[in-house]
Amino acid sequence: MAKIIVDENLINEVLNSRYIEAAFPSKDKIKALFLEGRRLSFYLGVDPTGPDIHLGHTTNLFLLKRIAELGHKIIILIGDFTARIGDPTDKESSRKALTEKEVKENMKTYLEQVQKVLPKKMFEVKHNSAWLKKMSFEDVIRLASKFTVQQMIARDMFQERIKKEKPIFIHEFLYPLMQGYDSVAMEVDGEVGGNDQTFNMLVGRDLSKEVLGKDKVVIATKLLEDPKTGKKLMNKSEGQYISLNDAPNDLFGKVMAMPDQSIIPVLSYATEVPDSRLAEVRKMLDGGENPKMAKEETAYELVKLYYGEKEAQKAKEGFGKVFSEGKTPDNIEEFQISEEVAPILEVLEGSGLANSRSEAKRLVDQKAVTINGEAVEDWGHEIKKGDILKVGSHRFLKIV
RNA sequence: GGGGGUGUGGCGGAGUGGUCAAUCGCACCUGACUGUAAAUCAGGCGGCCGUGUGCCUACGUAGGUUCGAAUCCUACCGCCCCCA
């Protein structure tokens, strides 16, 4: 078993890391806990509501990694039960509940993705269905009796909904209770989660105190937000996010496509570049340097982190080729046609580049479709094997 | 239980008998511009047909009135507010 590190400097380093937004009850109290020299357990809950872990999740993973390096135990809790209910956090309308099957499918790739940041031996996995599924109605009532409706509706987003006369369902009140009960069931010493989870995490803290007499600590991490608009950069329910599963080129491209001002948050909270380097980049941007280079560095870092240096280099070169020089990338997706030639509209629709025939026609009309660099002028155009099809600025398809 | 509202495209939100595939905003797509962007400007944004005063499907669900319904009526379903 790993040795518990009680070196005050190292502990301070973890607690003062840039990933942390807030700590409860306080950083000092948490520090004291670390200094006790006991092997503590910290957990991160992830709800498998989609197939991907995105950049917003990794802030937590980076922090957990550091806690693990101090010798403590990390639990990744898969919210296979809670995912089926739907967390109301930050939503103006309630999230759709998932079926058991959907949850299972989403779970599959989750751990693989977690391991890209947190080495396998550093954490163990639990599923909250293990205890939540077994609870009786009586158990649930008892749990519910520990909190008041006022406590629940005090949350911002519930207030929003009340103001807008939008429904709040009872099961949405139950969500924080379930999540809170996870802390009790696992008897953990601490929880790490995004700042938007603070309320839920604190419910767990109250429950731990009441049921176990244990003072569970909570560390809330920074969220990836656009500093200008305050909007979340990763939005799973809207399908806009950068996944750890994105291919190197996509990963690189998606970072490059982000608004300039959001690059510092991403570099800060979604990578492990040293603070000193971060400060340098910040300074350069303030000095009026082209943000493109900061973006490139960020994109490069991310690809390097998940696919290694070689892929990062390749992605960078590919990007430069396609966008700066307007050339065709090296490895593009292929689309098979059965004859030697095929109508362009069929290929567009069949490959998914267009969602319908009408959309395909529109794209042609808008001069968005190019074959080997030549704009397609009419709907009846045929494409042959070996041709390179391009739609918009960056979607390519090789016909085979 | 009673009363009053409300249900529209991915979201927000207009429209209260024809001119509505449905104003507008967001999101999204395309083009121009550029440093990859963002911002800005222009266009698009249900489906189908080489395209027209075109056809089909759609304004919670099911019926009805009407030459004609997102709009009126009836029932049902959901949600919100007030009273009890």
Q: Residue A379, CB, less than 7 Å from strand B?
A: yes
Q: Which residue has the tokens 């751990």?
A: A111
Nucleotide nearest to A258 (CA to C1'): B37
d(CA A90, CA A73): 30
pLDDT score, position A91: 45
Is the pLDDT confidence value at A93 over 60? no
Written as six digits, the tokens of A146 are 């520990």
pLDDT tens for each residue of A247-286: 888 888 888 888 888 888 999 999 999 999 999 998 888 8
Mean pLDDT, rounded, of chain A? 87
Interatomic CA–C1' length for residue A362 and nucleotide B46, angstroms: 14
Q: Which residues are registered as beta bridge partners of A43?
A: A75, A191
Nucleotide nearest to A365 (CA to C1'): B30
CA separation, residue A336 to residues A104, A206, A342, A368, A400 (Å)? 32, 58, 10, 21, 5
Q: CB atoms < 10 A from the CB of A340, how many?
A: 9
Q: How many CA atoms lie within 13 A of A48 on its CB side?
A: 27
Q: Residue A363, CB, less than 7 Å from strand B?
A: yes
Q: Residue A171, CB, less than 7 Å from strand B?
A: no
Interatomic CA–C1' length for residue A395 and nucleotide B24, angstroms: 31
Interatomic CA–C1' length for residue A310 and nucleotide B69, angstroms: 64
SS3 of A293-348: HHHHHHHHHHHHHHHCHHHHHHHHHHHHHHHHCCCCCCCCCEECCCCCEEEHHHHH
Closest CA to A14 of A217, A289, A287, A171: A217
Is the pLDDT confidence value at A92 over 70? no
d(CA A11, CA A67): 9
d(CA A128, CA A144): 18
Is the pLDDT confidence value at A292 over 60? yes
d(CA A242, CA A236): 9
3-state secondary structure of A35: helix
**Range with lowest mean pLDDT among A85-94, A241-250, A345-354:** A85-94
pLDDT score, position A87: 60
Ordered DSSP codes for A107-144: HHHHHHHHHTTS-GGGEEEEETHHHHTT--HHHHHHHH
pLDDT band for A76, please (50, 70, 90 cuts): very high
Share of chain A above pLDDT 90, in %: 43
Is the pLDDT confidence value at A206 over 90? yes
Q: Residue A159, CB, less than 7 Å from strand B?
A: no
Is the pLDDT confidence value at A393 over 90? no
pLDDT score, position A158: 86
Determine what percent of chain A falls in helix, strand and coil, rounding each to the nearest 5.
50, 15, 35
pLDDT band for A88, please (50, 70, 90 cuts): low
Work out the average pLDDT over A367-383.
88
Interatomic CA–C1' length for residue A255 and nucleotide B22, angstroms: 38
pLDDT score, position A283: 87
The enclosing H or E element of A185 equals: helix A170-186
pLDDT score, position A237: 61
Interatomic CA–C1' length for residue A238 and nucleotide B18, angstroms: 38
Residue A363 Cα to chain centre, angstroms: 32
Is the pLDDT confidence value at A81 over 90? no
d(CA A121, CA A286): 41
Q: Which residues are registered as beta bridge partners of A126?
A: A77
Q: Residue A231, CB, less than 7 Å from strand B?
A: no
Is the pLDDT confidence value at A232 over 80? no
Q: Which residues, in sequence order, are CB contacts of A32 under 8 Å at separation 6+?
A: none
Is the pLDDT confidence value at A151 over 80? yes
Is the pLDDT confidence value at A61 over 60? yes
Specify which of A122-126, A162-166, A290-294 reaches the highest per-range mean pLDDT.
A122-126
Answer whether A64's CB lies under 8 Å from A44's CB.
Answer: yes
Radius of gyration of chain A (CA): 24
3-state secondary structure of A183: helix
pLDDT score, position A395: 86
Question: Which chain A residues in 294-353 sit with Cβ < 7 A of strand B?
Answer: 295, 323-324, 349
Is the pLDDT confidence value at A50 over 80? no
Q: Residue A164, CB, less than 7 Å from strand B?
A: yes
Work out the average pLDDT over A304-310.
91
- Enumerate the nucleotides of strand B whose atoms come under 7 Å of any protein CB: 11-13, 27-31, 35-38, 43-51, 79-81
**Range with lowest mean pLDDT among A82-96, A210-224, A268-282:** A82-96
pLDDT score, position A236: 67
Written as six digits, the tokens of A355 are 């969602």
Amino acid at A370: T
Q: Which residues, in sequence order, are CB contacts of A387 under 8 Å at separation 6+?
A: A371, A372, A398, A399
pLDDT tens for each residue of A189-202: 999 999 988 999 99
Instruction: ipTM value, please give it.
Output: 0.85
Q: CB atoms < 10 A from the CB of A156, how many?
A: 10
d(CA A242, CA A357): 29
Q: Which residue has the tokens 């080729």?
A: A321
